[in-house]
A and B are shown apart, each in its own frame.
Chain A
């Protein structure tokens, strides 16, 4: 049986950058344990010598010519920004007294 504690769920929520209410955390604790219990079935399979599959079509080293071509229009992209200053996106400060 999976055993994610409330503090495990809080830790994962922080890693995922999800701000969750107490109610959501409580509900997810039950649901995640229930779902992760289903994963236990995989343990019974011996996969020691099985290679992992990350993609199903065996394409490798797909390259295209390195040529200059028009990109998206700057004003149209910046128009989508929640906060904009001139030609820049406004990002939250990540250095200084609030950074960590």
Chain B
């Protein structure tokens, strides 16, 4: 076989499997071989298991062989899907990137794991992430950093950096991330992939390690919009085990995402798109702004009406988010007490407070401790009204800004990240600098809205993401818009480029990002 199967879209893989051009075992083997050859230099995965993946692939091949009508088989049958290391799969490790969950084995499947297993997807393992999804670079993983396939000295973004890098580097056509303040969209932007944060409530959070429960949402990474739609289709919908998962019908997403580029571009004519002034933030790289403005111009040239929009409370988003999210995290992470599972230290003498202090003090990393401290402070006596209640009220103002915008426009277009991928260590010294990575994404979580990041060009040779924001439950409109943007830019030169350091990943002498990032950290520590 001369075709490199890992280069196909998930849809083309599915078609090839149905036509018996190749088997699920062959498809999975192609991906596993690439992971074997290149993950030393990428570190997208916390772990994968060849036998586990091939077992899933053999089951898929049996289902293909048994089926008399292959058109009724699930779209993901035999397709590899990488899961972020906070998605529980029965009998497998799940650490959420944290040393406190080292050795933990999930006793049950997450809702989305059940759905993916029923669909016959191949689930090879778990991808790297910032500890408990707190971070924007994957450098806060307890298991070392992940590299960006576009430049191995740079981060892939985060917190779902491993899932983004895995898709960008052809380790899987699809992956799962979670997004609390930008953790799908920002790494999608930084790795040149497509990433969707669905409406809060679209996907059940049952069996996902919790960070901030009123903000967390699960979503897909893919290399094009239709593939992202296929994966959302497989995981979306009501689940009674998550009372926040909404009893709202899930449309057939692909039905309005035509393969023909001309047809796909048609909905742009007459579409009203809002350009929020406040998203062109201070500190935005001029190269990123130029690429975004060019993308907006392309949408206008294809018939969309561009309307300037004010979201006046955007500037308060960061402060609001960094009260609400840590407050919820401090409550959620109280469960890590070293009694029922996970890392545990029992001090001789049996003082239970001392046991908690020792277990949690040694099990959590620096950023998680920082967030727990912030959240505990914001919720503590005397500060609750000043911080937490105030932030919840400002959250209402942020949401109302969006409500007003969607009275005027069909969707918003904005940058996903104010910068391209940054170098290892660049934002580790100043937590606020790291937090600013998500200035353009976290208001969307505060309002519970869907946001789709699609690649829209390069700045300094590195990918830039265009963020499309919709009203509640408008994922389909975002897919249509993202697909239309793909169609009108299909001939752009950057579309045909591979991630720049893809060849370097194949070189066994390329250092691992774990080593690279550790060297940067120790250099920083030496200079204070």
Interface residues of A (CB under 8 A from B): 4, 9, 12-21, 24, 28, 31-32, 34-36, 38-39, 41-43, 45, 47, 50-57, 59, 62, 64, 72-73, 76-77, 79-83, 89, 91-94, 98-100
Task: Output the nearest chain A residue to B377 by Cβ-Cβ distance.
Answer: A12
B interface list, Cβ under 8 A from A = 104-105, 107-108, 199-201, 214, 240, 243-244, 246, 313, 315-316, 318-320, 322-323, 330, 334, 337-342, 344, 346, 349-358, 360-362, 364, 366, 369-370, 372-374, 376-377, 380, 387, 389-397, 399, 431-432, 446-449, 472
User: Nearest residue in B to A27 (C-beta to C-beta)?
Assistant: B366
Instruction: For the complex, give the distance between the alpha carbons of A92 and B355 in Å.
Output: 8
Other-chain contact of B107, A36, A50, A51, A76 (Cβ < 8 Å): A76
User: Which residues of A are found within 8 Å of B316, using beta-carbon distances?
Assistant: 41-42, 45
B242 → A minimal CB distance (Å): 9
Chain A residues with CB under 8 Å of B372's CB are 16, 18
Number of A-B residue pairs with CB-CB distance less than 8 Å in the complex they form: 171
Is the CB–CB distance between B351 and A28 below 8 Å? no
What would 10 A/B residue contacts be, using CB atoms closer than 8 Å?
A19-B354, A32-B374, A35-B431, A41-B319, A45-B316, A50-B397, A56-B214, A57-B200, A62-B243, A81-B340
Residue of chain A at shortest CB distance from B103: A80
**Contacting residues, chain B, for A12 (C-beta < 8 A):** 373, 376-377, 380
Known: A52-B395, A64-B240, A100-B353. A18 touches B369 (CB 8 A): yes
A52 touches B396 (CB 8 A): yes
Contacts of A47 in B (CB 8 A): 390, 393-394, 397
What are the residues of chain B within 8 A of A19 when measuring CB–CB? 354, 356-358, 360-362
Chain A CB within 10 A, most for which of B214, B361, B362, B397: B361
Q: Given known contacts A19-B362, A98-B350, is B432 in contact with A38 (CB within 8 Å)?
A: yes
Taking CB atoms, residues of chain A closer than 8 Å to B376 are 12, 15-16
Whether A17 pairs with B392 at a CB distance below 8 angstroms is: no
Query: Which residues of B are found within 8 Å of A35, using beta-carbon distances?
Result: 322, 370, 374, 431-432
Q: Considering the chains assembled together, what is the distance between the CA atoms of A59 and B364 in angstroms?
A: 34
Are A20 and B214 also in contact (CB < 8 A) when A38-B318, A72-B108, A82-B341 are? no
